[in-house]
Amino acid sequence: MHKKLLGLGLILGGISIVLGAFASHGLENLISKDAIETFETGVRYQMYQALFLIGVSFYKSLVSQQIRLIFWLNLIGIICFSGSIYGLATNELSSFDFKTIALVTPLGGLMLIMVWFYCAYLVYKKSK
């Protein structure tokens, strides 16, 4: 088991539960229904990545360099992807205009896609 990946997965999962509850109960009177659905998209993808990390943490064939890359692609990807979605969904509540950094959303999404394919490559390479 790789404790860094497991720990990050558990933390991201716990945060996504908190943010999901916040979206359902704390934001319902503050932002539109569409904005809440957008916020929940960020929560959903954060939870997907948390579960992914928990699963990958049990893959025994990873070496430290691979673990580091998986860790950072996930963390930065979630911050960029889900974090920017949280900001965009609650944009009307902030003095900062999150639309100015909206381009980080697809960058974060690309990182999340890359980490899935990178792990698939590692499994494929190990099976040969």
* pLDDT score recorded for residue 127: 79
Closest CA to 16 of 115, 83, 109: 83
- Averages of pLDDT over each 10 residues, the chain, 128 residues: 94 98 91 94 98 96 94 97 95 87 94 97 87
> Residue 102 — φ and ψ, nearest 5°?
-60, -20
What's the pLDDT score for residue 65? 96
Measured distance CA(62)–CA(49) in Å, rounded: 18
pTM of the model: 0.91
